[in-house]
Structure 1
Amino acid sequence: MTDSAAGPNLADDLALALAIAADADLIAIDRYRAQDLDVRFKPDRTQVTDADRRIERLVRERLAAARPDDAILGEELGGDSAPGAPRRQWIVDPIDGTSNFVRGVPDWGLLLALVVDGVPMLGVASAPALERRWWAASGHGAWVREAKGEPRRIRVSGIDALAEASLSYNSLKGWDEAGRLDQLVALGRAVGRTRAYGDLWSYLLVAEGAVDVAGEFDLKPWDTAALVPILREAGGTATTASGGDDVLTDGSLLVSNGLLHAAVLRLIAP
């Protein structure tokens, strides 16, 4: 199959991304809970480890060899073009949830995306401590593999009433700093269940149909680019917290099973 919108065959791009994720997982799980883990603080006071840096270098080396004409943007080593540029661009977060990684919480993982003409077309999320890997490419469906089992296709839930919905909001502080705490409280009162699973897992649980709504603020392109194709291919809706399409650079992300999206936006959109 040739995917004209993406240039090279998108299925081949996905196979490449999955192979890279498998190698990245080996580095990550080897350094997880390591006694000699090198942890430093970046200027924004977020943490970075030797595992983050090693994984991003691996991803860049593999992509440079296999897709030398593509641009790359990464959390730790920057990039040679901005998101939305009219070209193929890979976006990588070597360890989403580094603070969890450092503290021994298993909710963390690689996020790797391919963006074409500003549109996220392919996403891989791999969480080796949870023994799960999720992936999707436009027109190819959304999938998960647990432990050493067979891949299975995933789909968002069919919940169509807020009173029956499950919400993951990531953190109270994030909503408060965005000036949306009152809206979160209103949404929390409207839904049937609230939790803060956090980081990549919130969104992937929506894609699996286990959670119905998730959202947060203060996000970067590498936090969102890989998740959006997985959500959309699973039948969900992904927008900014105001309902816009600029999910790469707005700094916010709201995802749902689609059936609840309009109702959620009525409660949280400014």
Structure 2
Amino acid sequence: MKGYAADLALAHHLADAADAVSVARFRALDLRVDTKPDLSPVSDADTAVEQEIRALLATHRPDDGLLGEEYGEQPATGSGRRRWVVDPIDGTKNFIRGVPVWATLIALLEGDRPVAGLVSAPALGRRWWAAVGEGAYAGPDLPSGTPIRVSAVADLSDASFCYSSLGGWEDNGRLGAVLQIMRDAWRSRAYGDFYGYMLLAEGALDIMVEPELSLWDIAALVPIVTEAGGVLTDLAGRPAPGDTSSGGTSAVATNGPLHAGILTRLSGAPAR
């Protein structure tokens, strides 16, 4: 991890601080939940975690840019094009209902390219991280991380298919295609949010799809999935995070051998 060793070490430091805040608020009786303008929920844990990460980055990487889900964009002040992208709690709906499947997502981008990513799910006692060219790892912390790798499943009939929800696919007119994949796959489950991608990176499932997500939802996942040997594109076949100029993107993540077929089923376009 020569090129990004210091950045990954910092990402773990940020995750340690984030975990301390989020775990203390998980299942708290006085947890405050508000509704954002887009009608999605936000808890006091979401805002507190992002504030903690912003404060630490201001100390350790003051020249880098920062994009966070709750407080928006802070442009870089240095001459480089480095930017941290943070989702303080991915899976807020799980968090506020007491479901332990939620995580803090931390990514480092150079230009538009995610070059390092970390996912910390403290209620599950697990983290995943990767940097470009250095492989993907999982474990409770940096010193005890072990390499992870996607599966070698090549046939959909043998594959485990994962999705976040069906509503978004109905909205974009692809629900029929998703349902047919579910019928043809060996197994299908909706683990949702970050977790499906991490299970894919570990080889526990083979396909994860999402019709709509923001840059902070996907940036940290890209290095982990791809460094584990997987493929992650948008529905047009462009390498993730794809085109986020309109504020959102889509995701088709697979172990590789299954990608062209799944992308064709969902989009009608060939994989790139």
**Contact kept? 2:212, 2:251, Cα under 8 Å:** no
Is 1:135 the equivalent of 2:145? no
- Provide, for residues 24-82 of structure 1, a one-character-per-residue CA deviation record: whole Å limited to 9, x for no partner: 10111110000000100001111111111111011111111111111000000000359
Report how far residue 229 of structure 1 moved. Answer: 0.4
Q: Residue 153 in 1 paired to residue 151 in 2?
A: no
RMSD: 1.9
Report the 3-state secondary structure (helix = DSSP H, G, I; strand = E; otherwise coil) of the residue aligned with 1:241. coil
Q: CA deviation at 1:179?
A: 1.8
Shift in CA distance, 221/49, structure 1 to aligned 2, threshold 3 Å: same
- 1:6 is aligned to none
Counterpart in the other structure of 1:265: 263
Give identity over the alignment, percent. Answer: 48
CA–CA distance in structure 1, aligned partners of residues 2 and 185 of structure 2: 43
> How much does 1:148 deviate?
11
Matches within 5 A, 1:111-260: 111-146=105-140, 150-247=144-241, 249=244, 251-260=249-258
SS in 1 for 2:249: coil
Q: Which amino acid letter does the alignment assign opposite residue 182 of structure 1?
A: G
Structure 1: how far apart are the matches of 2:72 and 2:147? Answer: 33
CA separation of 1:246 and 1:136: change in aligned 2, threshold 3 A = closer
Q: Contact between 1:87 and 1:116, CA under 8 Å: does it hold in 2?
A: yes
C-alpha distance in 1 between matches for 2:183 and 2:75: 42
- Which of residues 23, 32, 35 in structure 1 aligns to 2:29? 35
The TM-score with structure 2 as length reference comes to 0.92
Q: Deviations over 1:82-122 (max 9, x none)?
A: 9xxx7101000000000000000111010000010210000
Give the length in aligned residue pairs.
Answer: 262
Matched, 1:44 2:38: yes
Q: Which runs of 5+ in 1 are unaligned?
A: 4-9
Partner of 1:61: 55
Flag structure 2 segments of 5+ consecutive residues without an equivalent: none
Kindly provide the amino acid, as one letter, of the partner of residue 64 in structure 2. D
TM-score, with structure 1 as normaliser: 0.93
Can you list the C-alpha shifts for 1:173-223, whole angstroms capped at 9, x where unaligned? 121122210110121122111100011101000000001000112200000
